Structure 1
Amino acid sequence: MHKYLTTLACAVLLQGHAWAADPVRREQVELVQGAPVKKLAGKIKGYATVEYSIAAPANGKFDIRLNSAHPSLYFNVSANGSDEAIFVGSRDGAHFHAGVTGATRYKVTVYLMRNAARKNQTASYQLDIGSGA
């Protein structure tokens, strides 16, 4: 019995990496109303994600457009502090647009769909982010 428990414990420890949290890179972005479109370029691999915390100025429009050659790369948008997405790229497309009444902070998460992530694929992308009146 002792040998069985030791073997089981070793197997669990060796599989520990599968339970580890996926890497998340976080970046802060500040937008100025009327400023040129901000271009954020990056690359992700596998289950890694990038979270941009974006401050959108009040009383304007807020746009995000994703450009990538990878067909399984998407982004989601949620209000800061909320886990519920107001925009889901895999369902809603590659362009998010919102009117902003007060100064608002959004969380934009760039990710690969599971079909590409489990194959540890890599995707390059560019997010064009702008705000205007």
Structure 2
Amino acid sequence: MHKLVSLMTCAWLACGSAAAADPVRHEKVELAQGGPLKKLSGKIKGDESVEYHMAVPAGGALSLKLKTANRSANFNVSAEGAEEALFVGSRDGDHITVAAPAGAVYNVSVYLMRNAARRNEQASYVLEAVASAPPTPR
């Protein structure tokens, strides 16, 4: 019986430490259409990343811009539940505006590219986010 309790305790501790070692921090961000610019600041190091879950009101557009001194820091944007990113910062740049037709939740992941993560580099960043009315066609 004592061995079983010891084994279960070790398994419980191992599961707890694995969850604590998760390098992804999750944060929810609520944006009001036409609301003020939100400046989300943080610091990432090595393989750490921050995933922001941003709810955008129906008919709005999400505008994002990443400001950082580390050229290996980027962000990706994907619609919640989508299999592919609709924006890849390392390929597409440091800013995006995307329409949210019927309201949507976007996942925005701020991370260091693999080369910098392996060197355990760090980056401070500011991610500017605003929900505005969608652009009108010309």
Sort the TM-score into its range (normalised by shorter chain).
Answer: 0.7 to 0.9
Q: In angstroms, what is the RMSD of aligned CA positions?
A: 1.1
3-state SS of the aligned residue for 2:69? coil
- Deviation at 1:83? 3.6
Residues 1:99 and 2:102 aligned together: no
Aligned counterparts of 1:81 and 1:51: Cα–Cα separation in 2: 14
CA deviations on 1:5-29 (whole Å, 9 max, x unpaired) are xxxxxxxxxxxxxxxx751100000
3-state SS of the aligned residue for 1:116? helix
3-state SS of the aligned residue for 2:36? coil
Q: How many pairs align?
A: 113
CA deviations on 1:24-74 (whole Å, 9 max, x unpaired) are 100000100111111100000001111000001111221000000101000
Structure 2 residue ranges without an equivalent (≥5): 1-20, 134-138
3-state SS of the aligned residue for 1:85? coil
**TM-score (ref. length: structure 2):** 0.79
State the partner residue of 1:53: 53
- Deviation at 1:82? 2.3
Aligned counterparts of 2:132 and 2:79: Cα–Cα separation in 1: 19
3-state SS of the aligned residue for 2:127? strand
**TM-score (ref. length: structure 1):** 0.82
> Does the aligned pair in 2 maintain the 1:79–1:86 contact within 8 Å?
yes
Q: Which runs of 4+ in 1 moved over 2 A?
A: none
Identity %: 56
State the partner residue of 1:24: 24
- Deviation at 1:126? 0.4
Aligned counterparts of 2:22 and 2:116: Cα–Cα separation in 1: 15
Q: Aligned letter for 1:59?
A: G
